[in-house]
Amino acid sequence: MNEMMDVVMKKAGLIIGILLLALTPAARGGLVFTVNGTEMPDGSTIVLGPSDVIELDLEISEGHDIAGYALGYTLTNPNAEFITTGGYGYGSISFPTIFDFPGEVYINEPQYVEIAARNLMEANPGPRVLMKDLLIHKLDSTYVELIITAHSETMIDGKWIPDGTLLYTLHIVPEPATIFIVGLGGLMLHSRKKKQREYKSNADA
């Protein structure tokens, strides 16, 4: 029963993302962020259970070009983390598009990753994938946001994007079944402590 509910809630999260995609532009300045193979517009919500992992890809869309980028990826809760350890220190991350200065992870921390690449002269036209498989691991059932900002070397369509520009926010929410279980556990713990206090009070009397 619980497994069936998990499947239903994950599908519901995906449906929410697809509906938002139809209502909201998927790209910010030509950048498209893909979560688990599905384009997710800015402000989308995805439902995850404890220990679930999502894969984040970055693309430049058709009709746009990119000469370079430096993007900061921030998780707002320490109970979620980037998985970037492994080969070359990047884990599963790959950079399909070749730049003069290839894609690289410049800052690699559990809740913050900065990734950059750039050309000396020409821009790379879209559509093309810039980065694949940045993994995010959810450690428990709490709410977390993924926030992506531009840094000083980001140039799209011949224009610099100002440093610190907010490009994308993804809301990662726990499954309702998980919230219920956690809440029930807290209620039971509270009830147990209350009974212990009452027992101690009666014993002292």
Confidence (pLDDT) at 139? 82
The pTM of this model reads 0.72
Each residue's pLDDT tens digit, 126-135:
999 999 999 9
Instruction: Kindly tell me if the per-residue pLDDT of 101 is higher than 80.
Output: yes
Which candidate, 26, 27, 56, 34, places its Cα nearest to that of 137? Answer: 56
Q: Measured between alpha carbons, how far apart are the two ends of the chain, in Å?
A: 47
Would you tell me the crossing angle of helices 176-204 and 2-23 to the nearest 10 degrees? 130
Rounded CA gap, 32 and 168, in Å?
A: 9
Averaged pLDDT score across all residues of the chain:
77
DSSP string covering 166-198: EEEEEEEEE-HHHHHHHHHHHHHHHHHHHHHHH
The C-alpha atoms of residue 56 and residue 93 are separated, in whole angstroms, by 9
The single-letter code of the amino acid at 138 is K
Q: What is the mean pLDDT of residues 115-123?
A: 93
**Structure-token pair, residue 195:** 């009974």
* Mean pLDDT on 144-157: 93
Measured CA to CA, the distance from residue 77 to residue 132 in angstroms comes to 23
User: Poorest-confidence range of 85-94, 126-135, 146-155, 163-172?
Assistant: 85-94
